[in-house]
Amino acid sequence: MHDSAAMHARASAAPDPDPVETAEWRDAFRALVASQGAGRARFVLDELARLAREQRLGWQPELNTPAVNTIAAADQPVFPGDLAIEERLGSLMRWNALAMVVRANKAYGELGGHIASYASAADLFEVGFNHFFHAREGLAPGQHRGDLVFFQPHSAPGVYARAFLEGFLTEQDLLHFRQEITAPREGARGLCSYPHPWSMPDFWQFPTGSMGIGPISSIYHARFMHYLTDRGLLDCRGRKVWGVFGDGEMDEPESTSALTLAARERLDNLVWVVNCNLQRLDGPVRGNGRIVDELERLFTGSGWNVIKLLWGSDWDGLFARDRSGTLVRTLGETVDGQMQTFAAKDGRFNRDNFFGQHPELRQLAQGMTDEQIDRLKRGGHDLVKIHAAYAAAAAHRGQPTVILAHTKKGYGMGTAGQGKMTTHSQKKLDEAALIEFRNRFNLPLSDDEARELRFLKPEEDSAEMRYLRAQRERLGGHLPRRQTQCEPLAVPPLANYAQFALAPQGKEMSTTMAFVRMLGGLLKDEGLGPRVVPIVADEARTFGMANLFKQVGIYSDVGQRYSPEDIGSILSYREARDGQILEEGISEAGALASWTAAATSYSVHGLAVLAFYIYYSMFGFQRVGDLIWAAADQRARGFLLGATSGRTTLAGEGLQHQDGTSQLVASTVPNCRAYDPAFAGELAVILDAGMHEMLIEQRDVFYYVTLMNENYAQADLPQGAREGVLRGAYLLARHGPQAGAPAVTLLGSGAILPEIVRAAEQLAWQGIGASVVSVTSWSELARDGRASQASGAAPWAAQLLSGTQGPIVAASDYVSAVPELIRAHLPPGRSYRTLGTDGFGRSDTRAALRDFFGVDAAHVAQAVREALA
C-alpha cells in the first residue's frame, strides 16, 4: 500500500528506472520511522540532504507538502468545547452580521459593507474567541495583560455581531452600521466600516483596513513584546499576537517584508491565520495557480512554521479510502480558479466535474448523496480542525507560525454569493437568498422574519448565552477592547538636558546634532531614561548617534556573537539583549511599524514608553505615509524626527533625497503636531511640551519635528517666546525702521530662517525696516486660525502680526503651499507673498540650491522690494 505523500511525490517525479530499488528505499524509510520514531527519521533526512549538497547534485527538498492537512486526524486533540452550541452561536453571528449590512444598504443604498469576507472567516474567529483570544484582565502582577488580535478588516460586521450578543453593542447600534455622524443624533453608536481605534477608542485596538499594514504591524508588535521582556520593562511571556489576514492581502509588500525578521528573532508569540478563500475583490487570487502552495513556499522559506488547514472532518473518510493517492494528487493539481468554480456550484456539479475526473474519484463519491457532497467543508469551516491547528500553533516554540486556512468566500450564501466573482461587493440579498441562508444554518426565523432581517439574540439564561459568557470570562472578558489605563511618566526639567540649546550664545551646530545631544541627556535620566525607545531604520551614524551605541546599546535578542571591526573605537558598534536602540535596517516601513508598537504601548500593554524614530524626512510621509496614518488612527504617542529635511539643506544628494513636502503632508494628519524649528532652543521647547502632553497629560497626539544637518549660529531663545514657539510663531527680531522709512514683515522657518535674518539685515542697510518672525509650525498656525474663526476669536497669526508693519513675505525650505496654509488667518489689508522650493530637487551646494529655488536672502530681499513697489 502506498501512502498519499509517496504517491504525490512519485506523480511529480521523472519516470522511475528501477522501481524495485525505489520500493526497497521506501520500505527501509518506513521501517526507520516505525522502529525509531519521527525524530530519528528527521535526522537521517537532514543528513541525506547534507550529503546531497556535498555531492553538488543540484537537488533540495521541495518546499511544498501534499494538499492535505498538516495535522492528521489521528493527531487531533479532543475538542474541548460544546460543538453543537458553538455551531449555533456561529450561525447566529453570521446572520446578524449579514442582517446588519443588508439593512444598512436597504435603507440608504450607498453605505457599502461586506458580507462574504466574514462568511468565510466566521469559524476562524469563533474558535479564537471561544478558546484562544485572551483579553486583558488587568495590570496587577499575575494578571494576564491580554493577547493582541489583528482582525481581517472586511470581517468587522462579524465582530460587531458578536459584541451584540455579548451585550457590548445594542440593536440600535447595529442599525447604525457605517453611520457615525447620524447615530449620536438618534441615541445610538455609529459603527465604523473597519477597525478604527480613532472612531471607536474603547473597542478597536488595531487599524487593519489598509491592506498590508495589519500584517507588518503584528510582527513588530510581537517583536516589541520580546524587547519589553528582554529589557526587564514588562514580562510579556505567555501572551500571543494573533493576526487574521486575507490571502489576497499577502500581495502587499508590507505583508511579507518582515517575514524573515519574525523568523530570525524567533517570534513564537506570533500566529498568523491566512484566510485562503482564494478570492480577491474581483476574482481568484491565483486563478491559474495555487495560492496555498505559493504561501507555503514563501513562509517555509522565510523560516516560519507552516500549518495547512485545508479540509474538514468529512474529508477524513475519503482520504482514508484513497488508496491510490488520486484524491490528494487531484486536489494538488486543481488551480484556484477551478476550485472557486467548484465552490460556486452545487453537489451535482461537483460529483460530475470534480469526482468525475477519474474512476477512483467516482468510486470514492459513490456512497455520498449530492447534498453530502455539497456539504463537504473546507478546513477553515470545521471547528474541530481549526481548534487542532490553533492549539498546535499556540504550543509551537522557536518560530512564528502561519495557519493557511482554506475557506469559501461567501460561505453559506448559496447561489447568491458563495464563491462567485461578485461576492466581495455583495451587500444586498433578495428574499429567496435570505430564506436560503436561513435554511442553510437552521436559524430560528420565520419566512417573514428572515425577509425583515430581524436580529437574533437568545434569552439571557439560554444555554447559548451562558456558554458564550463562560468562554469569554475564562479568557478575561470581552474582546476586542481597547484600554488606556496607564501610569503617567515624569518628565525631567528642561534645563537638565537642554540648557545648552536654550542659550547657545551663537555657537554653530545643526538641529540634528542638538536633538541627539538632548536624546542622550534624556537617556541618562533615572526615571524616564529606561523608557526611552530610540529607533532608526539605518544611518544612525549619519545622524550623529554613534555615541549612543556604547551608552545604551542596540537591541538584539541574542546579544552580540561577534567582535565588531571597530571594537577599539569609543563609538564601536554594540549589540546587547538589553540594548535600547531599535536598529531596523533598511526598512522605513519596518521602522515605522516598530515605532507604532512602542508609541501605542501605553494602550496595548498599559506601560508608557517614549518612542523617537529618526529618519531621512523624505522617506517618511512620502514613502510610508499610510503607516503613519494608521499610527494616527491607533492613537500613537511619540516623536517622529524627519532629519536632513528641506529641499536645500541636504546638499549634493539630489532629487530622491531632498524633502520639500513632508510638512505639507503632515498638516493633513489631524492628531499630528508638525514643527519645523530653526534653532535648538525652539526644538528643546517643542520636545519638552510634547513629552508633557503625551506622557503626563496623556493626550492622543504625536509630534513630527523636522531637523537639519546644516551647521549655523544658534540664536538664544528670547524671553517669553515659549508660547509662540508652541502656537507656531513668535517675533524673533526687529531690524529698524527709521522714522518714516518703509517697513516689511518677514516669516521663515527651519533652514531658511537664517536666510530671512540675512535678508532683514540687508534691507536694514537699504533703509527698509524688517520684523523677523520665526515660524515653528505653519500647520499649527493654520489649525489655530480655523479654530479661532469658528469661535470668533482672533487667530494667533493675526494677533502676532498686528504688531508688525508692511507687506508680509514668507519662505520655507518646502513647497510654497506650506506657507500658503496661513493666508486666510493674517491681518486684513496686508499683502502676502510666499516663496518655496517647488519642483524636483537638484544636486549642488546649499547656496546654489537656494538661489535656484529662489529662497535665499537675495530673493527674499527682491520679493520685499517688489511688494513695496
Give Cα separations from 349 to 288, 313, 373, 622 (angstroms).
Answer: 21, 21, 10, 51
| Single-letter code of the amino acid located at 244 | V
Residue 11 confidence (pLDDT):
43
545-573: b (≥16 Cβ within 10 Å) or e: bbebbeebbbbbbeeeeeeeeeeeeeeeb
Strand duo 639-643 + 582-583: pairing:
unpaired
Can you give the length of the chain in residues? Answer: 869
| pTM summary value | 0.94
- Mean pLDDT per block of 10 residues along the chain (869 residues) reads 41 78 94 94 92 89 94 96 96 94 80 80 97 95 95 94 97 95 94 96 96 97 98 97 96 96 98 94 89 97 98 96 94 94 91 94 93 94 98 98 94 62 58 88 93 95 98 96 94 95 93 96 96 93 87 94 83 91 95 98 98 95 95 98 93 86 97 98 98 98 96 94 98 84 96 97 94 98 95 95 96 98 96 97 94 97 95
Residue 112: CB partners within 8 Å, gap ≥ 6? 105, 178, 193, 427
All cell numbers assigned to 694: 503625551
Residue 415 confidence (pLDDT):
61
Cα(187)–Cα(204) distance, rounded to whole angstroms? 21
CA 540 to chain CA centroid, Å, is 24
- Cα–Cα nearest to 729, from 664, 796, 680, 667: 796
**C-alpha angle 824/826/828, rounded to 5°?**
95
Residue 117 confidence (pLDDT):
85
Strand duo 743-748 + 808-811: pairing:
parallel
All cell numbers assigned to 174: 447595529
Burial of 649 per CB tally in 10 Å (0-12, 13-18, 19+): buried
Residue 42 confidence (pLDDT):
92
CA quadruple 593, 594, 597, 601: dihedral positive or negative? Answer: negative
Residue 416 confidence (pLDDT):
52
| Single-letter code of the amino acid located at 180 | E
- Cα–Cα nearest to 309, from 249, 251, 381, 255: 381
Burial of 227 per CB tally in 10 Å (0-12, 13-18, 19+): buried
CB neighbourhood size of 217 (10 A): 30
Residue 766 confidence (pLDDT):
92
Residue 13 confidence (pLDDT):
56
Mapped to the 3 state alphabet, what secondary structure does 310-336 carry?
A: CECCHHHHHHHHCCCCHHHHHHHHCCH
Residue 716 confidence (pLDDT):
92
Residue 88 confidence (pLDDT):
96
Residue 24: CB partners within 8 Å, gap ≥ 6? none
DSSP code of 693?
A: I
Mapped to the 3 state alphabet, what secondary structure does 239-293 carry?
A: CCEEEEEECHHHHCHHHHCCHHHHHHCCCCCEEEEEEECCECCCCECCCCCCHHH
CA quadruple 198, 203, 208, 210: dihedral positive or negative? Answer: negative
**C-alpha angle 447/448/452, rounded to 5°?**
120
Give Cα separations from 307 to 71, 129, 256, 379, 423 (angstroms).
Answer: 8, 20, 17, 11, 27
Residue 823: CB partners within 8 Å, gap ≥ 6? 832, 834
Helix (H, G, I), strand (E, B) or coil at 150: strand
CA quadruple 40, 46, 49, 54: dihedral positive or negative? Answer: negative
Per-residue model confidence as pLDDT tens digits over 242-264: 999 999 999 999 999 999 999 99
Cα(610)–Cα(643) distance, rounded to whole angstroms? 18
Residue 453 confidence (pLDDT):
94
Q: Which residues, listed in sequence order, are joined to residue 774 by a DSSP beta bridge?
A: 730, 748
All cell numbers assigned to 154: 472586511
Cα(164)–Cα(93) distance, rounded to whole angstroms? 9
CA quadruple 444, 445, 450, 455: dihedral positive or negative? Answer: negative
Q: Which residues, listed in sequence order, are joined to residue 534 by a DSSP beta bridge?
A: 612
Cα(788)–Cα(627) distance, rounded to whole angstroms? 31
Q: Determine phi and psi for 807, rounding to 5 degrees.
A: -60, 155
Strand duo 712-713 + 743-748: pairing:
unpaired
